Structure 1
Amino acid sequence: MTPNGTPAPPPLYHLQAELENAFDEIVARIEALIEIYRREGGAAWALEEATPDADWLRRILLDFWYEEGQDGRVTRSYIGLVAASQALLDEVGRVNRAKAQFSGVLERIRQEDATLIPGLKALLPARHPALNAQLRDQGLARLHLKQCWRALPTADAPLSRVRMAWYASGRSIKKLSVREAERKLMAFDTEAPHIRIQLRHLAGIPDGEPLAQVQKQAPLMRANVFFAEPLADGRSRRAMNVALPLFIPSPDGRLPDYNRPPPFPQPERTRAKRSDERLEDEPFLPSIRVYRYR
């Protein structure tokens, strides 16, 4: 107990063991899902795979790795559709619960001691010889934690059709004050010449000037799904982002009508910018992607 009477947090080694168990459960549940799909063999379609089968599904669902040079904020997408029996959907639910458990424990470790995270990225795959061999043989860098815990998308009910399209929002823009930008720069090595230059630039503008922090966003595949029958709440359709195969309830093992989007997003059309997005062409503080408004 803590001095104020609340339960003390578990020791870090307990959290590490809990994370290891959660990772093991993700792998076990995915393997169980694959066995059900291998046995039942419902229809499937994939954007970049001519003949999606159980081996394809296993490969993409167990893709937990950074590739060399991969941006840590970016995850790989595997666009597809899978006709799912109730048994398969039940297992998808178990996979997603295991992923949620893993994510929750990981967040607790981050709050207690984030310095443990890099070591865990090497430790976790070593518990599974086949996964560790893949990591070694393919020259993959390390475990990508978000690719471990991102959920498998599922449709709420049987569908009549699916319409997919790339959605490129381009970038997100967050307003920052001068003081907020300064705090972000101060988190870097303030003795580094490029940081000192940016701090001087920041000191030369009015304290009240609004700034904009820009984050480029990777294109997303957006699926508009149309339910065969309206849901209990009256909805007949739903839009959802799908970075992994969409599992669709299908008692007969067939897919609904669907389109085949291009493998890559089309070049973005030029659109008029809102007044609050009119930023200078070059970043004012490159290290934190901050721009001045024109």
Structure 2
Amino acid sequence: MQAADLAIITALESARSFTSAARQLGVAHTTVSRKLKELEDHFGTRLADRRDDGVVLTPEGERLLESARRIETELAGLERDIAGRDHRLTGHVTLTTVDALAWLYLPTLTQFRTRHPQIELALEVTAEPRNLSRREAQVALRATNAPDDHLFGRQLGSLDFFPYAAANLADLGPEMPWLEYGGTDCSQPAGRWMRRNHPLVRPGASLPTPLMMFRAVAGGLGAGLVPSALAETAPGLVRLEETPAFSIGIWLLTPMELRQTARIRALFEAFAGSGR
């Protein structure tokens, strides 16, 4: 048995099916079944049961899951500690962020690549935040007002959300169609603002991210709350109020163990002059 084999148990616990676990691990369905059988033969006991509601770990499987997570955490810490001692301006850096911030900071990333061609930069744009502690990425560019306190971070600025509309809609008054956020960190503060300022309005569409909201508002689909940093790139948009509806901080974050790594420091320095 190898430490990597224990990933089968953690994947089955979270996915609750062999097919989903295989997809999560990037292997074939038969590989998950075979590896589980090998683990059960090694320990001499059943580790998981197939039920109508999915795969469920046995008590022995739960004990192995606890050990697997502990080993995974220790290996991740060891890897970060070793990486943190690397003082070379080479190697790989994975930066995870959301679409709006990727779009806004693309010039900064371009300058970084030009200045440090020996550093391989991978940009992951996803709606779901990656777990830095579990090595899913080394650096995160996040919009948040509550950054994780176990991470090293620098606030780059903030996204200030104002109500905007396309010029042809700006004078419609009560008849103006409105858009809302759905399923993002923006949905709660945006929803509170809408209830205070337009309690009788029923939004006509829901957008998943600030960048999608910006594109929809700029396209004339309706009025909505858009970060001013995005809206200022579209001259045809009209700001409907001069007071921001809400603001969200922009943070660059990395695990504490990596903050002294040369390539991570170089990336932080590149962002230092890119406040919003």
* Bin for the TM-score computed over the shorter chain: under 0.3
TM-score, normalised to structure 1, is: 0.25
**Which structure has greater helix proportion?**
2
TM-score, normalised to structure 2, is: 0.26
